[in-house]
A and B are shown apart, each in its own frame.
Chain A
Amino acid sequence: MSDVLVVGGGLVGAATTYGLLREGLSVTMLDEGDIAFRASRGNFGLVWVQSKGDGRPEYAQWTRRSADLWPGLQDALGEETGINTHYEKPGGLHFSLSEEDFEKRCALIHRMHNVHGAAHYGAEILDAKQVRELVPGLGPDVVGGTYCKHDGHASPLYLLRALHTAIEKRGGKIVPNASVSAVAPDGNGFRAETAKGTMRGDKLVLAAGLGNRKLGGGVGLDVPVAPEKGQILVTERARPLLPMPTHVVRQTSEGTFMIGDSHEDVGFNLTSTTPTMSMIAARAVKMFPFLKDLRLVRSWAALRVMAPDGYPIYEESAAHPGAFTVNCHSGVTLAAAHALGLAPMIAKGQIGDELSVFTAGRFDANAH
């Protein structure tokens, strides 16, 4: 019996678990195993602020808060585990490949400035010459871009390993291969039926990614998340060239170029398809023509955990207080907010007002 039972050992579950341990609670974290969809292992690795939350200022603020907390998370994990998450915050670039797209992008940035104020948002519009002063090797099709100093990137795999190591060092219990078939209220707390037997906790956090959809009903939570496939290409290593990440290409600290950003609604299908690989490769080569001479050494597909409007779902069950659910598609960006912002709220037993817009009730057409 732990103070908190966390279902899900990916970036969301592990960041939340780590944060709960920091609050002095005892935590058991259940991880499904390698049969799971493993969105955390497929993440692109951006810590991204710019353009997030158009139409939902609370999401922009929450994302920015996570970016502000990230340096502290990186330092804490490094001190506790010796593992470097390779987080860097040099700012990030988004490019436009047509004047039409650039106009739309500028309108978006102006709109978000107006909503949040420059100090709280901090994205700048750069013309064709200015973007070329920031990164080398841009192709002629890049007409301009936007830069945000709060953007950065990290290694999702090192982050996950650091979180798991820190959890164990703080006395948290990680139970692997503990696929959860159901959760339910149990006396004053909750239980989870798992492949490793029944587990109990005073509180329950559902952080099982796409699995939350099936599990939520057991504790009165409606979690309408659905898969959105993304594919990623990885090149051979090269000497450091790109000083900052961009929205579709980033060079890792170990030298590979990661190329991404496809969005497909194909259900629970993890197949990498050639047309999508071609599309993202062609777009990346338009931005950085030198990429055409690099060999690809890996590619994969993973499933984002998407709510209908793309924003997170944070909610405590009204029917069964003490049962929480945490859902998002930005497990790296929001890791710091989950560990250092959300987990203290769960420890206190109440999700803060600043996150009240993120309940699933927003999808209920009959709610008003």
Chain B
Amino acid sequence: MPTRIDASGERIAFTFDGQRVEARSGDTVAAALIAAGIDATRRSALSGMARGPYCMMGICFDCLVAIDGVPNRQACMVEAREGLVVTTQDGAMEALS
């Protein structure tokens, strides 16, 4: 389980699938989720299998989540902010809703 090497920074919080997640100011959403012990953040669009953050640098697209209702956001590329509503990206999004 990953641990923080630097616990300083302002404490903020957002929700992931309704669960409160504590973060530090400057965390990415993916970093905050991993620090909170959450490593499954989406289900594959093809197989339905669990997936989670991997590259942490915007390349692998494995950390996709829905943030404030917008699907397929890269959690590793979005800075955590107080009050974000983050949810599991459950398979592929709807193109035409």
Q: Which of B46, B93, B96 contacts A236 (CB 8 A)?
A: B93
Q: Which residues of A contact B92 (CB under 8 A)?
A: 237-239, 255
Tell me the complex Cα distance, A257–B92, Å.
Answer: 12
Q: Shortest distance in angstroms between A245's beta carbon and chain B's nearest beta carbon?
A: 15
Contact assessment for A239 and B72 in the assembled complex, using a CB-CB cutoff below 8 Å: no
Contact assessment for B72 and A136 in the assembled complex, using a CB-CB cutoff below 8 Å: no
Interface flag for A137 (CB, 8 Å) = yes
Contact assessment for B72 and A290 in the assembled complex, using a CB-CB cutoff below 8 Å: no
Question: Which A residues between 310 and 347 are near B, CB-CB below 8 angstroms?
Answer: none
Interface flag for A297 (CB, 8 Å) = yes
As a 0/1 sequence over residues 286 to 317 of chain A, the CB contacts with chain B under 8 angstroms (1 = contact) are: 00001101110100000000000000000000
Q: A239-B91, A295-B72, A297-B61 are in contact. Are A255 and B96 (CB under 8 A)?
A: no
Interface flag for B94 (CB, 8 Å) = yes
Q: Which of B46, B61, B95 contacts A238 (CB 8 A)?
A: B95
Q: Shortest distance in angstroms between A341's beta carbon and chain B's nearest beta carbon?
A: 34
Tell me the complex Cα distance, A237–B42, Å.
Answer: 13
Q: Which residues of A contact B91 (CB under 8 A)?
A: 239
Q: Shortest distance in angstroms between B46's beta carbon and chain A's nearest beta carbon?
A: 6
Tell me the complex Cα distance, A70–B49, Å.
Answer: 32
Contact assessment for A290 and B95 in the assembled complex, using a CB-CB cutoff below 8 Å: yes
As a 0/1 sequence over residues 36 to 69 of chain B, the CB contacts with chain A under 8 angstroms (1 = contact) are: 0000000001100000000000000100000000
Q: Which residues of B contact A241 (CB under 8 A)?
A: 94-96
Tell me the complex Cα distance, A174–B64, Å.
Answer: 39
- Name the residue of chain A whose CB is nearest to the CB of B72: A236
Question: Which A residues between 119 and 146 are near B, CB-CB below 8 angstroms?
Answer: 136-137
Tell me the complex Cα distance, A195–B91, Å.
Answer: 46
Interface flag for A254 (CB, 8 Å) = yes
Q: Which residues of B contact A257 (CB under 8 A)?
A: 95
Q: A137-B96, A239-B95, A290-B95 are in contact. Are A255 and B45 (CB under 8 A)?
A: yes
- Name the residue of chain B whose CB is nearest to the CB of A236: B72
Q: A236-B93, A239-B95, A241-B96 are in contact. Are A254 and B45 (CB under 8 A)?
A: yes
Tell me the complex Cα distance, A295–B72, Å.
Answer: 9
As a 0/1 sequence over residues 161 to 192 of chain A, the CB contacts with chain B under 8 angstroms (1 = contact) are: 00000000000000000000000000000000
Tell me the complex Cα distance, A239–B92, Å.
Answer: 5
Q: Which residues of B contact A295 (CB under 8 A)?
A: 72
Contact assessment for A239 and B46 in the assembled complex, using a CB-CB cutoff below 8 Å: no
Q: Shortest distance in angstroms between B66's beta carbon and chain A's nearest beta carbon?
A: 12
Question: Which A residues between 76 and 133 are near B, CB-CB below 8 angstroms?
Answer: none
Q: Which residues of A contact B95 (CB under 8 A)?
A: 137, 238-239, 241, 257, 290-291, 293-294
- Name the residue of chain A whose CB is nearest to the CB of B74: A295
Q: Which residues of A contact B45 (CB under 8 A)?
A: 237, 254-255
Q: Which residues of B contact A294 (CB under 8 A)?
A: 95
Tell me the complex Cα distance, A241–B45, Å.
Answer: 14
- Name the residue of chain B whose CB is nearest to the CB of A294: B95
Contact assessment for A254 and B72 in the assembled complex, using a CB-CB cutoff below 8 Å: no
Question: Which B residues between 3 and 23 are near A, CB-CB below 8 angstroms?
Answer: none
Tell me the complex Cα distance, A236–B72, Å.
Answer: 8
Tell me the complex Cα distance, A239–B91, Å.
Answer: 8
Q: Which residues of A contact B93 (CB under 8 A)?
A: 236-239
Q: Which of B46, B61, B96 contacts A290 (CB 8 A)?
A: B96
Q: Shortest distance in angstroms between A344's beta carbon and chain B's nearest beta carbon?
A: 37
Q: Which residues of B contact A255 (CB under 8 A)?
A: 45-46, 92
Tell me the complex Cα distance, A236–B91, Å.
Answer: 12
Q: Which residues of B contact A236 (CB under 8 A)?
A: 72, 93
- Name the residue of chain A whose CB is nearest to the CB of B94: A239
Tell me the complex Cα distance, A238–B72, Å.
Answer: 10
B91, B93, B95, B96 pick with most chain A CB within 10 angstroms: B95
Question: Which A residues between 202 and 256 are near B, CB-CB below 8 angstroms?
Answer: 236-239, 241, 254-255
Instruction: Provide a sorted-by-A list of 10 A–B residue pairs whose CB atoms are within 8 angstroms.
Output: A236-B93, A238-B92, A238-B93, A241-B94, A241-B95, A254-B46, A255-B45, A257-B95, A291-B95, A295-B72
Closest 8 pairs between A and B when the two form their complex, measured CB to CB:
A238-B95, A290-B96, A137-B96, A237-B45, A239-B92, A237-B92, A255-B92, A241-B95
Beyond the given A137-B96, A257-B95, could you list 8 further A-B residue pairs with CB under 8 A, ordered by the A residue number?
A237-B72, A239-B92, A241-B94, A254-B46, A255-B45, A291-B95, A294-B95, A297-B61
